[in-house]
Every structure is written in C-alpha cells, then in structure tokens.
Copies of this chain bind each other. A is one copy, B any other.
C-alpha cells in the first residue's frame, strides 16, 4: 500500500542530536552533543524514598488517570517555587503541568499559530523549539544575537515590517538566561526593551527558562514575567535540569485564557502527564530536596564549564571565538568561516568526539561555521581530550582550506 502522508511534517528536520545519541554510549566516545544533565546530579536516594512513599500513601491515585491540567498539589508547589526562585507571582489556575517543557513548546505553537503565521525567535535558538514550531508550520523570523542576547532593536524593526505587511507575529520566543545553544544571558536593558516591544505591539512574549537555576557566576537578572506588569508573558519551566529528565515533567505558566486552551489541546495530545511522575515531583518540591540538589549541580557544572573554557583557550585555533556562559549547559563556538561544521562533524565522530553543528539551531540556516558544545555530561578529562581533538581537527581543516 502506498501511504498518503499529510504535509504537516514536511518542514521538520530529522534531529542530528538524536542521531548523535546513538554514539553517546560507545566506549571512549566523548559527546558534547546532547543536552543531557550529568547523572551524578540525580537525587537517586531521595527519589527512591519518595517513590516508596508515593506508592504507600497515594498508590491508588498516583497510578490512576489524573486531571489534564495537572495534580493540584504539584501546581501549588510550582507556584511557591517560581515565587521563591524567580519572584514570579502566579496562581494554580495559571499553571498547567506538561510532559516535559517540549510539550509546552508544541502546545504553544498549536494554540497560537495558523500555518504560515509569523513568529519571532532568536538566531540561533533551541532545536526542539524549531521542531515544535515547524510541526505547526510557523514562519520563523530569527533575530541576530550578540553578547547581550537578542538584538531587540532588530526585533522591533522586524516586527514593524511584518506588522505593516499584515503579518504581525503571533509570539516572540526567547530563552533569556543561559540561552540554548549559545549560553548567552540577555542583559537587563534588553529584557526591559523586549517587554516594552511586546506590550506596544501586543504580541505575547514566551520565555523559556530551563537553566535559570544553574548559575555559576554573575548576578541573577529579573525574568520577563516579572518585568511585565500586565502578566502577559508565557513562562515555560521544567524539572529536567533540576531533578531529572526521565520523568518528563515540565510546566507552562500563562494567562488563564491561555492555559485553558492548552488544557483543551492536552486532552487530545495525551489526556494528562504521568500521574506518578507528578506525585514524585510534588514531593521533591514539598520536601525541599530541590534546594539541596541545585547547589550540588552548580558545584559540579561550574568545574566542568571552567574546564571547557580552559581547554578551548589551550586547544582551539586563534581564529575561533566562543561564548563564556555564566550558567546553563552549553557554550557556542564559532570557527574559521571557511569551515563547515556539519561537514566537520563526520570527521569528529570518526575521531570519537561529537558536538551539534550550528545549523541545527538556525531557523535561517546561517550558522554553518558554529557549533554547540555541552559541558555538563562529560568528565573533566574527557572535556580536555575532546576539545584537544576538536581543536586539532579545526586547525588541520583551516590549514587545508587556507592552502587551497
């Protein structure tokens, strides 16, 4: 039989990262590819104790179907968490629990975007967001970044232009803190400007904050959600980086009208997120284990970040540049512009080391000589060896290119 597929997936790119994961477990292979937290940070004993408690005291409920919007007790704890960490004031009815924040990204696009509608993103941006937006046929207009984050002057110009063409963007998507893939944090001035633009042009702002708690240096900056007096910002959170990814727990916070739409869609998507995972996350927050866990992750990851920065200084050719993130899981390196990092990746994998090439994160596909390097998963000695290998490859390639 000849299948007649819909054209809904024609824009989605197969994920290079998922491909790379195949190698990640091979012996001696060094992966800077995936966005995986280090399993040393998983609170294994606490999780075991919590799971046992949940089964004993809530078994019949925790293994049963649950509310589509999420466990009420968990929403209350999320409310407290975002107030304490990011000073975000919200309410249970404004929170919906999602199956990872990836589901939030998909829902967001599905709820707001008709095929062909314009949206604004950073250039580059999170590859999973690109998938979610492509799956809903959003037309991404990606805005150049510098060391202060999204160039909001360029964003405003693009919004003006699109609006004048009758194509006012449906939302602005940003990862303001320790951005994926660049590791860059948006400056306070830019944050204020972005909120101003969103209000002036009446375009919902979406801030995705998976890494906010993982700060190794510098001062915390206010989130867009707190800078916007009208509470119009949609906020995406996740437990993947502050508990573990394997339970697939995330949440979206937004205006009630918005959350209600999410709820309606989520009934069609998966009825509800795992009730059991929700009970575990609830107890993880309620018992305050998250507060013991985050400092441990920070201590571990700070060293790894420092190791990678040191290794880059030592081994990458002088023609390369890279970001110096204050937190998160990634840094972004740009090499000699004659080198195509998608091509280079094949050689790198041969040498036993991987990264994700820049264009995977590029809505405009203009990051052909950049790469995202994850520093949280590998051991420190692997970081040195992996960066040395990459540095040598890049040097060799640049030499060859030069001499051609």
Q: How distant is the Cα of A336 from the Cα of B74 in the complex, in angstroms? A: 45
Q: Are B5 and A63 in contact (CB under 8 A)?
A: no
Q: Are A7 and B274 in contact (CB under 8 A)?
A: no
A180 at the interface (CB under 8 A from B): no
Q: Are A64 and B36 in contact (CB under 8 A)?
A: yes
Q: Mark A255-279, 1 if CB is under 8 A from B, else 0.
A: 1011001001101111111111100
A288 at the interface (CB under 8 A from B): no
Q: Are A270 and B100 in contact (CB under 8 A)?
A: yes
Q: How distant is the Cα of A134 from the Cα of B264 in the complex, in angstroms? A: 11
Q: How distant is the Cα of A303 from the Cα of B305 in the complex, in angstroms? A: 62
- Chain B residue numbers with a CB within 8 Å of A271 are 100, 102, 128, 248
Q: How distant is the Cα of A193 from the Cα of B157 in the complex, in angstroms? A: 61
Q: Are B18 and A68 in contact (CB under 8 A)?
A: yes
Q: Are A246 and B132 in contact (CB under 8 A)?
A: no
The distance from the CB of A370 to the nearest CB of chain B, in whole angstroms, is: 22
Q: Are B2 and A202 in contact (CB under 8 A)?
A: yes
Q: Are B265 and A135 in contact (CB under 8 A)?
A: yes
Q: Mark A238-266, 1 if CB is under 8 A from B, else 0.
A: 00100011111000000101100100110
CB contacts under 8 Å to B, within A1-23, are 1-9, 12, 14-15, 18, 21
Q: Are A8 and B55 in contact (CB under 8 A)?
A: no
The distance from the CB of A230 to the nearest CB of chain B, in whole angstroms, is: 7
Q: Mark A181-209, 1 if CB is under 8 A from B, else 0.
A: 00000000000000000010010100000
Residue of A48, A128, A132, A270 with highest tally of chain B CB at under 10 A: A270
Interface of A is mostly: loop
Q: Are B245 and A64 in contact (CB under 8 A)?
A: yes
Q: A106-B268, A131-B267, A276-B246 are known contacts. Are A59 and B36 too (CB-CB below 8 A)? A: no
Q: Mark A109-135, 1 if CB is under 8 A from B, else 0.
A: 011111001000000000010011011
- Copies of this subunit: 2
Q: Are B269 and A106 in contact (CB under 8 A)?
A: yes
A interface residue count range (under 10 / 10 to 19 / 20 to 34 / 35 or more): 35 or more
Q: How distant is the Cα of A204 from the Cα of B273 in the complex, in angstroms? A: 29
- Chain B residue numbers with a CB within 8 Å of A277 are 274, 276-277
Q: Are B261 and A273 in contact (CB under 8 A)?
A: no
Q: Mark A35-47, 1 if CB is under 8 A from B, else 0.
A: 1110100101001
A52 at the interface (CB under 8 A from B): yes
A367 at the interface (CB under 8 A from B): no
Q: In the complex, what residue of chain B is closest to A17 when comparing beta carbons? A: B267
- Chain B residue numbers with a CB within 8 Å of A392 are none
A31 at the interface (CB under 8 A from B): no
A155 at the interface (CB under 8 A from B): no
From B55, B65, B257, give the contact of A245 (CB < 8 A).
Answer: B65
Q: Are A47 and B55 in contact (CB under 8 A)?
A: yes
Q: How distant is the Cα of A39 from the Cα of B62 in the complex, in angstroms? A: 10
The distance from the CB of A268 to the nearest CB of chain B, in whole angstroms, is: 4
Q: Are A269 and B102 in contact (CB under 8 A)?
A: yes
Interchain Cβ contacts under 8 Å between A and B, 16 examples: A1-B204, A1-B230, A5-B112, A6-B170, A8-B111, A12-B265, A34-B65, A35-B65, A36-B64, A36-B65, A42-B63, A44-B59, A64-B246, A65-B245, A248-B271, A269-B269
**Extra inter-chain contacts (5) besides given A39-B61, A48-B52, A102-B269, CB under 8 Å:** A4-B170, A6-B111, A6-B136, A100-B271, A247-B276
